[in-house]
Structure 1
Amino acid sequence: MDIETAFHTVGEFGPYQKRAVTVLVLAQVYMACQSMLIVLVGYTPEYRVEKQDGGSSGHRELQQHVIFTEDVDSIVTEWVLIRQQAYKVSLAGSLFFTGLLVGNVVFGPLSDRIGRRPVYLTGLFFEVMFGYLTALAPSYEVFAASRLLVGLMNGGIGLVCFVLTQEYVGKSYWAMTGTLTSMIFAVGIALFGALGYFVRPWRTLAMVANSSGVLFFLLSVTLPESPRWLYSQGQTERAEEVLRYMAVRNGSNATNLVLQRVGAAKPGGPVSRRGGVLQLAVHPVLRLRTMVLMYVWYCCSLVYYGLTLGASATSGSRFVNVAMYGLVELPAYPLCIYFINKSWAGRRKSMSSFLFLAGSACLCTTLIPENSGSLLSITSLALLGKLMVSAAFNIAYVYTSELYPTVIRNAGLGVCSMSCRVGGILAPFVPSMRALHASMPFTVFCLSGLSAGCLGLLLPETLNRPAADTLEELSGPSGSRVLENKALLYEEEKLKSNHK
């Protein structure tokens, strides 16, 4: 039997898979805390500088004369990162996102080559170690370097963790596990805001937030390798062992399960040598999909983070603001679960529609006066746009993993995530375009959402279609709709067998 039939026999989402997925999904809380750490530990309180004799002097002299008027313990108060040194707070955040970008590119292909489990466990272990280095950093330079390293690990294992949540279960549950991953990440952001309220000293906050990673690492040690990855690599016997283990833990009788032998990528074999990131540019089908998906991910990130900067710049408690930053995303995920599993919507139409709605919401903001007090204010429309782009972002994760074969899935996700990080890096510069015209930032977000929605319609639908495991399965009579062709062939074979 093939891998999909095996999952139907073993149980697509049995008790064992539920426990394994729960561990991986809850690990998103830890990753969210690391992602949002700089927001609270880099907080700049109000301060005043006493008059200095002899005029201006260096930073060391400034440290002796500055007085912080708020009772706040942060890296700003400890290392006096104000005035000419204030850029270092943003720099630490940028270094984290730079690490995310590099981690996406490096860890994706690596996990496709040596396996999901070793890359995930190694990355999580070192992220925890570097997280403690952040909390114990004796200087800003060590702190900044540790944030770069934490970002590197976070970006890599985030992708591998997402892929594992899908490859442990049957394809019909991919949308649900992908949505749960994104939802728990948003919950993690809100929980970090609450944690910051109760734990104020920045070193203690960094230590407590990082300690949850130790628990998730210990829980993850018992997780098996992905049976889909093993099968795609030609390691059929190991894949059978994992599936039989799942069957026993699920209470299934499929202990004599035997998979169909395939001539897939054995280490050092011809398919293995042709695999890797290069295939995303060389393979005609993958090239088209990667170009479209990279632009979609870039626009999702640009609009999401751009709107977040505008919508979250409100007065009030910083802890409440951080919590709301996560909670505002939660309504998007039930919408995703509902629409992407409907035959009349699916992945492709749902993602494009949410992008269209995000762009339309941004367009409407240009038609409303600045100080409008009505229900349809600029702030409410910006939050609506963020809600819509959050939904599109979540679908993009699920949809992308289904569009790439197993042997190159992490590499594809890594390249798409790289373009996503580029959008996140550029997003803070878009609001500065307000100097040209007040509506210019929202015009950029509008055009990005609408254009990405149009391009997304060029991709094939994957709902209820067989998933590709090897590159050979993408070789169909027509290029861009390979998964659809495969499904049609499957249906034709089924019809022929019925006529016999």
Structure 2
Amino acid sequence: MVDRPDGKKTKERTPKEEKLYPVEKTADPIISQIGDFRRYQLFFCALIFLSKFGTGWHTLGHIFLAAPTELSCGTENVTDACSDECNDLVFDTSVFHSTIITEWNLTCKNKSLASLSQSIVMLGVMFGSMLFGMIADRFGRRPAFLGCCYMQLITGLVVCVSPTYWFYCIARFLVAFATGGTMTTSFVLIMEIIGPKKRELVAVLYQIPFNIGHASLAVFAYFIRTWRWFQFSITIFSVVFIVYLCLVPESPRWLFTTGRVDESIQILEKIAKHNRAPRENIRPEIEAGYRALSARQPAKKGNLLDLFKTPYLRVKTICMANNWLVVCMVYYGTAQYISKLGGDIFLNNLIAAGLGIPGTCLCVVLTKWLGRKITLMLSNSISAVGLILLVFLSESSMWVQVACATLGLFGASITFPNVYLYGGELFPTVVRSNGVGLCSMVGRIGSITAPLICDLANIKPWITPLVFGIFSVLAVIGTIFIPETRGMPLPETLEDGETFGRKQKPQQN
């Protein structure tokens, strides 16, 4: 009780005590302070997931930027628009008012230039993921992530004012370069603050914003039929990334491992406050954890060549890299091929891309109950069946062809998140980054060649699905030689990597 000025007594108010929820202590010093997956991690994932919409838009925007356009000849008595006698090319602008094809006359002898521009985009994604990955390791996750987000915005706007075809290709390469960096750095940022119990689930669900971005392209294109304004509409969304300056901190794990312990502690204390976790022991436990980390003898580091020095690890590396090659080739190639099948290009792409969302969700269930290996073989088989059926039904109705191609794309949407998960568990710790990086690079080669394979349909419509179908079958066969990793202890050394999968049995939960 306290005395009031009027002489009466009143009950003293005390600050409301914050209810705290203890955190399970594990061998991981970071997760032991903030919890496995609580309120802050949920908010942070939702925030970073926003950047994945742009990756879908910019990597697959080519579907509508270079949408198929009917061509005819306006010269009297000339029916072949590609003949030398035709002096007046007439494009059908009833669906799209302008595309890069109509803008720069990418037809006839120049027809392959449209697909070349998309191959250049995928080349940019490959180099961007590599370079920004190195920047993130050297200078921090936050500056690398913010840098590629804002580079994506600026270069995306530059594409809108491209005066020539080659200027457009260079600008799109730079957009893709930034997009590749976004893919790499956003995934690392999320994985480094999530505990092992939810890491598998989040790693798979991480693909869903990409699927939504892919599907929403059809909506943008339906309402915006001019390619420059279409490009502007899928780029201007990146303005919201300004909030990242205030809301995205540096990875406390990266700060911890690089010796910036005080900064790591400050961020962990803020996260723990949001998660209602105890904060009084964060500093002593993190400092003790860093002393223990510094006292360890450095383990022998591996390199890329170590993946090929021993026979079984070499086989596993080649087979996993082949799966990455196939899924990137089939996913990006089939997505582009669907736009060439005729019919309603907007509805076809909306349905095909939309099925990627349940495909990703299905991957969560299948990898948990069937394991990584069976799921990978099943999803590649689905792609193979859909695409090979398309070979024999290439003269059927448009809807039958779209259904077969969509089945192939659906299988690839299950495969995509699985290869990320499977690859991360397959390679030993000392060469895990090298292994996943190699697979990612091989995958980009698949996405670079995909548009060129799509052009084979100009010779015979069934050639493109046949190539994709054969590669899907080869992926199924190759997966036979990869061991199951579900429930297995992760390999640590090169010796573990060679013996992993031969005699080990799943751990009992």
Shorter-chain TM-score: which interval?
0.7 to 0.9
Quote the residue 2:168 is aligned against: 143
1:182-201 superposed matches below 5 A: 182-201=207-226
In the TM superposition, residue 139 of structure 1 has moved relative to its aligned partner by 2.7
Quote the residue 1:35 is aligned against: 59
Residue by residue, what CA displacement relative to the aligned partner does 1:40-62 show, whole Å, maximum 9, x if unpaired? 2323534444439xxx9xxxx99
Quote the residue 1:256 is aligned against: 281
Residue by residue, what CA displacement relative to the aligned partner does 1:97-150 show, whole Å, maximum 9, x if unpaired? 121122233333443344322222212221211111111223333212101111
Q: Does 1:322 align with 2:349?
A: yes
Question: What CA distance in whole angstroms lies between the structure 2 residues aligned with 1:163 and 1:106?
Answer: 14
Give the letter aligned to residue 350 of structure 2: A
In the TM superposition, residue 226 of structure 1 has moved relative to its aligned partner by 2.9
1:33-432 superposed matches below 5 A: 33-43=57-67, 45-51=69-75, 65-70=88-93, 72-219=97-244, 222-233=247-258, 238-257=263-282, 258-259=285-286, 260-261=289-290, 274=301, 289-342=316-369, 345-362=370-387, 379-403=402-426, 411-428=434-451, 430=453
In the TM superposition, residue 194 of structure 1 has moved relative to its aligned partner by 0.7
Question: What CA distance in whole angstroms lies between the structure 2 residues aligned with 1:41 and 1:481?
Answer: 46
Change (3 A) 1:113 1:329: same
In the TM superposition, residue 284 of structure 1 has moved relative to its aligned partner by 8.9
In the TM superposition, residue 399 of structure 1 has moved relative to its aligned partner by 2.5
Change (3 A) 1:111 1:49: same
8 Å contact kept, 2:122–2:176:
yes
In the TM superposition, residue 171 of structure 1 has moved relative to its aligned partner by 1.9
Give the letter aligned to residue 326 of structure 1: A
In the TM superposition, residue 410 of structure 1 has moved relative to its aligned partner by 5.4
SS in 2 for 1:341: helix
In the TM superposition, residue 422 of structure 1 has moved relative to its aligned partner by 1.5
8 Å contact kept, 2:125–2:179:
yes
Deviation larger for 21-30 or 349-358: 349-358
Change (3 A) 1:287 1:25: farther
Give the letter aligned to residue 421 of structure 2: V
Quote the residue 1:497 is aligned against: none
Change (3 A) 1:108 1:405: farther
In the TM superposition, residue 167 of structure 1 has moved relative to its aligned partner by 2.3
TM-score by length of 1: 0.79
Quote the residue 2:8 is aligned against: none
8 Å contact kept, 2:383–2:411:
yes
In the TM superposition, residue 21 of structure 1 has moved relative to its aligned partner by 0.8
Change (3 A) 1:233 1:356: farther
Question: What CA distance in whole angstroms lies between the structure 2 residues aligned with 1:144 and 1:199?
Answer: 21
Quote the residue 2:45 is aligned against: 21
Question: What CA distance in whole angstroms lies between the structure 2 residues aligned with 1:296 and 1:312?
Answer: 25
Question: What CA distance in whole angstroms lies between the structure 2 residues aligned with 1:474 and 1:121?
Answer: 34
8 Å contact kept, 1:41–1:202:
yes
Question: What CA distance in whole angstroms lies between the structure 1 residues aligned with 2:461 and 2:72?
Answer: 33
8 Å contact kept, 1:111–1:410:
no
Deviation larger for 281-290 or 327-336: 281-290
Change (3 A) 1:387 1:50: closer
Question: What CA distance in whole angstroms lies between the structure 1 residues aligned with 2:320 and 2:471?
Answer: 13
In the TM superposition, residue 405 of structure 1 has moved relative to its aligned partner by 7.0
Quote the residue 1:479 is aligned against: 498
Question: What CA distance in whole angstroms lies between the structure 1 residues aligned with 2:254 and 2:504?
Answer: 23
Change (3 A) 1:407 1:69: same
For structure 2, the residue ranges without an aligned partner over 5 or more in a row are 1-24
In the TM superposition, residue 445 of structure 1 has moved relative to its aligned partner by 4.0
Question: What CA distance in whole angstroms lies between the structure 2 residues aligned with 1:98 and 1:233?
Answer: 31
Higher-Rg structure is 2
Question: What CA distance in whole angstroms lies between the structure 2 residues aligned with 1:348 and 1:381?
Answer: 24
In the TM superposition, residue 195 of structure 1 has moved relative to its aligned partner by 1.4
Question: What CA distance in whole angstroms lies between the structure 1 residues aligned with 2:28 and 2:259?
Answer: 15
Question: What CA distance in whole angstroms lies between the structure 2 residues aligned with 1:476 and 1:252?
Answer: 40
Deviation larger for 115-124 or 65-74: 65-74
Give the letter aligned to residue 47 of structure 2: V
Deviation larger for 96-105 or 42-51: 42-51
Change (3 A) 1:407 1:483: farther
Give the letter aligned to residue 373 of structure 2: R
Question: What CA distance in whole angstroms lies between the structure 1 residues aligned with 2:56 and 2:439?
Answer: 20
In the TM superposition, residue 322 of structure 1 has moved relative to its aligned partner by 3.2
Change (3 A) 1:289 1:154: farther
Give the letter aligned to residue 361 of structure 2: P
Alignment RMSD: 4.2
8 Å contact kept, 1:45–1:68:
yes
Q: Does 1:453 align with 2:476?
A: yes
Give the letter aligned to residue 295 of structure 1: N
Question: What CA distance in whole angstroms lies between the structure 1 residues aligned with 2:389 and 2:201?
Answer: 32
Change (3 A) 1:137 1:403: same
Give the letter aligned to residue 53 of structure 2: V
For structure 1, the residue ranges without an aligned partner over 5 or more in a row are 495-500
Q: Count residues in correspondence.
A: 474
Change (3 A) 1:229 1:475: farther
Question: What CA distance in whole angstroms lies between the structure 2 residues aligned with 1:46 and 1:150?
Answer: 29
SS in 1 for 2:419: helix
Quote the residue 2:18 is aligned against: none
Residue by residue, what CA displacement relative to the aligned partner does 1:211-245 show, whole Å, maximum 9, x if unpaired? 11121243365322334444555655554444333
